[in-house]
A and B are shown apart, each in its own frame.
Chain A
Amino acid sequence: MTEMPDGLRDLDRKLRSVRFGPRASFGPELLGRLRRGDQPSGRGRSDFRRHLAAAAIAILTAGGALALANVGTRTPADAVTVDRCCYDLDGGGDADDGVLILAERDDRVHRLRVYEDLDGSQSFTPADLVRLDRGAKPAVHGLAGEGIVTIGQCCLDFDGGGPDDDGLLVIGVPPDRVLMAAIYETGAGARPRGSPPAAWPLR
């Protein structure tokens, strides 16, 4: 079906008439900034990016063991960033999705971003397509609808804690919608006392 439903045509026509344009002097101003080599201002940039700038960590793997180095970390005190790529996290069929996590080691998650690695860099870049961007608490984003699937990745070090004992749970609607993503700890003592085996606390 490629014909627009009748009930939407008026709205479609109206929206097609809406156009905005910047001031005439805006273009020359911006081109001047490009010529001068101005850096992005970071306006609107969230704490996530500032923390990323402050929290430098090198995750080195050798023989299956991880050695961690954390340099210059600022608030939150033990925040580390972990960028894991590439898996099929949106159900699209291709292993081209990554997850970027700002967390305290083995503890609280501050930001979690699921992205599609469009430029093939195997890490997050400004032009990658962000499928989900959440804050500290896992929550379902958007309407669920039909066709929901859960996708899991276990076990890796998603929170910079060291051992490969974290799982990643993604709920989405293939091929491109990600409704929720969270990590969980599977190591010893991660499960609350008395809880059923599947009750890993999501972070």
Chain B
Amino acid sequence: MPRQMLDPRPAERPLETSEKSAEGICRGWYEAYGGPLYSYLRFHLSSPDMAEDLTAEVFLRALKAFSRFDPALGSPRAWLFRIAQNVLRDHQRQARRRPMVPLAGMRDLEYEAPSPEERLLWEEEVASLLAAMGELSPGDREVIGLCYSCEISMTDAGEILGLSAAATRTRLWRALGRLRKVLVR
């Protein structure tokens, strides 16, 4: 039987009428999951601009591959997060070759700070957390980023990671243990 190969990227073209509904569904998905996806990606990236670019890439890839989405096989959220994992993996591979220096800091950090000083302290704390995460293995970063970047249950995180809830929990705790060791070093 012939093996299906990955298709080359098709030439750019406007959406056909039959794809309008796909665009509408993706729009709904953005409204439901855009924020959590952005936060998830941002946990792994040093720049808000890069997080926006990759979030956009997730939805553009989702729209392109929309016909392959089968709700019987999983939720849209799990599907989108898996696309995000693959987008992030591709980006990180590229970034190793072309490291980028972030120009913006934590302008996208959501925090109800009573004072600018407290916000600054919180930003520094988050920056050190993310820097410590950067020393972990990709697997540890992945499970921590997924479980904490957005409000997601252990079962839903497990669906995205292809694990049971119990296995996800175990993996998370081990990763947190390693993160704690990095932080106290």
Q: A-side interface residues toward B, CB under 8 Å?
A: 2, 4-5, 7-8, 11-12, 14-23, 26-27, 29-31, 33-46, 49, 52-54, 56-61, 81-84, 100, 116, 118-130, 133, 141-143, 175-177
Contacts and interface: CB of A to CB of B under 8 A. Distances in A.
Nearest to A124: B6
24 contacts: A2-B169, A17-B111, A18-B149, A22-B38, A22-B48, A29-B56, A30-B30, A33-B60, A34-B30, A36-B14, A39-B12, A40-B61, A44-B90, A52-B8, A58-B2, A83-B5, A119-B70, A120-B73, A123-B3, A127-B65, A127-B79, A129-B82, A133-B93, A142-B138
B147 to A, nearest CB: 8
A21 B36 CA distance: 8
Nearest to A9: B176
Interface string B166-178: 0101000100110
Contact of A27 (B30, B57, B95, B138): B30
A4 B174 CA distance: 11
Contact of A44 (B30, B54, B68, B144): B54
Nearest to A58: B2
Contact of A11 (B5, B43, B180): B180
A45 B93 CA distance: 8
A116 B82 CA distance: 11
Given A46-B93, A125-B68, A20 B26 contact: no
A59 B2 CA distance: 6
Interface string B142-180: 001000111000000000011100010100010011011
Contacts of A15: 129, 144, 148
Q: Which of A39, A54, A100 has most chain B Cβ within 10 Å?
A: A39
Nearest to A131: B162
A142 B143 CA distance: 14
Contacts of A4: 173
B28 to A, nearest CB: 10
A53 B6 CA distance: 8
